[in-house]
Structures are given as C-alpha cells and as structure tokens.
Structure 1
C-alpha cells in the first residue's frame, strides 16, 4: 500500500510530501529522510530510486515513511540552508543545542526547533516513535554515522558499500538528528553520508543495494 500525503509546509509555504509504504497497523515505521541539505543531491537521488523500487513492490512486515525532499527551498537554490537561512540539521531541540554556530556555515537558527520543517519532524517522531531512522546525506568523508543501537544494521550495510562505521562525523553537530533521535531517544539512527559527487549510476546501484540490505537486516532482526 502506497500513500502520499502532506508532511508539512516549508518556510515559504511549499508542500513537503511524505510517501508511506506498508500497513501502518503493523507497528512503528522506518523513517527515511533526505534532502535535509539542499546542496547534497546524492541522498535525494537515492531516496527517489528507493521510492521507485518500493512502488513496484514492498515486501517488509513493517511500515516505512519516506520524505525525499525535506528542505525544498534549499534544494531549489542548491543551498545547504532552508528558507530562513537555518541549517535544519542543527536546529533540532537537543540537550546540546546552542544558538552560537560552531561554524558560520551551519547556523542553528534563533531558537531550537524554530523552523517549520523541524517542528513537523519533531512532532512526527514523538507521535510515531519510529523503529529506525535513515538520514541520507553526502560528504567528502563518506561514512555510516551510527547513533543508538544500530550496529548490526550498519555492519550489514558495510558489507555492501564498504563504508566505515563512525559514532561521530568528526566535529560537533549540536541540534542534529543523530543526537535528537539516536542518542537522546534511543531510536536507532544512521546518517548515511554518501560520497560527495558520486555518479548517478553508482548511487542508483551500489547505494540502493546497500539500503535494501539494511531493510532486509531490520526484517531479520524483527523475527
């Protein structure tokens, strides 16, 4: 079963859509989030490739919610930030949130959870308590950034993509999803940092297979 619906509106009123697969009565969903940073198209490409695959068939015994374009204004302007010039992956209400940016490139916003996209995500997570979160990004230092109890799934992914598994991206990220969900709420969260500038073919082949392997592992662990 596939259902597309409005997840939230962006700063400038654009509709951010979610796509749901599987029967919602089967328990907590897996969340796949991409397009958080508008200058990281690799994750969006992978999300749409997965969407295409799931439209053909969805075989898992748990529901999935996919949000391929979380930061619409950023994607349209090829900009990391949202319509208010805020980094959405520094704006979540974590215990370590700070109004002072660690780096000027990553402005956290005037207050934690100040952005409409952040508010919608926080509300959705608190309502649905997902069983697993994948946040699709891209980075020169590609990795599987694992937060929470997700090592077995990360190791299954590594078998396919051969990416290192890291607990930290290598610098402070206050207000990020990995901290909010993975560390502070014990929701297994993998920030999938795809190699920046990777070819379309590799994203649609290697990384689709990697993500599908992750779903297979979650299914296996559920039994």
Structure 2
C-alpha cells in the first residue's frame, strides 16, 4: 500500500530527522509508531498523508509517487485517508453534523448520503445525540471524538492516528481501540503514533520505535 524509499527529512533545527529511511506498509496492516517528542512520529504521519514533503527520497501510495503528483491529485488521494491529528480545525459556528458532512459534500457525494454517513460516524464515537450542537460548545475530549468521526466518515483505506488520546478515561480508550479495530478487521490500514511507556491500542501489532537522535532507530516485530 505505501512504501518509503531512502527518505531524508531535514529541518534547520533537526538536520537529520530522517536519514536514508525505508519502510513498507502493507494493505490491512496495523503499525505502531513509538517514540519520544522530537523523534519524528508526527512528521512521519504528515509525510504519509501527503502534507509534508520529504527532503529527498520516494514515497508511494498504491503505486503512485505522492510528491510527484499535482497538489490537486494529492488532495484527491488524501480523501482515501482518515487523519486523526491533535488540535483539529472545525467550523466552530456550525453543528457537529455539518462539520462531519461538509467535507463529504466537497468530495461530491449526494447530500443525503453525506448526512447519513455523518450521523452514523457521530453515533460511533458517542456524539450521536449531540449532532445539533455547535463545535465551539464541545469539551476538549468531545472535540477529539468529533475529529475521529470526521476521519471515519469517508470510509478510508488508511487511518493515520497521532497521539491525541493521552489522558482519556480507560473506557473511552477501549472504545477507540474497538472502533479502530473494527476498521482494521475490515481491511483498513492503521498507523498509530504513541509515546513510550503508554498502553498501545494494539500491543500485538508491528511496532517501529523511533529514538532521539532520530537517525538511530530500531524496528521491532511483535
């Protein structure tokens, strides 16, 4: 599904964040990314999503070189991904239903289908009875669940999950694990970034450990 070949990624403050990095991600796989802050977890997810161009190297998604595509084509590919990142941006004055349905409408889906998908997604994250609320009325935890609903409403083939669920109550963590697990069982590829020492949502999955300084990495299959 996705392959990194000899990826280099440099920033002025991190000149060797990724150095000759290669990784193959199979369709239907679950991959854990584990590492401390600054090890490159979020950068790796952003490169996977087509939002962060590598300094050099090749990243292919379903055989297409992501960063040789036009921005419009890359955006269309991104519609096949569900991005669950910290600090989501919402239409604060709009309802939860609108916030989930509008991205689907932009993709050209019929309005009735968009509303049905949006309501179902909100139901799956425990916000089904609050769909008429405005996004600005939500707690931080509920905003994060709204982000999950928006990500799954598009029926993605790839879910990219940054470590936003730190501090969630155990019951909600378990619900999130079950939700992601149901998509994974349906053939969706899932990549989850976590801090060291935390409870992995899928501890039996393949784990890539990112360390600092970043070029020194160990991949562990469990």
Task: Say whether the fold is shared (TM-score over 0.5).
Answer: no
TMscore range, shorter length: 0.3 to 0.5
Largest Rg, 1 or 2: 2
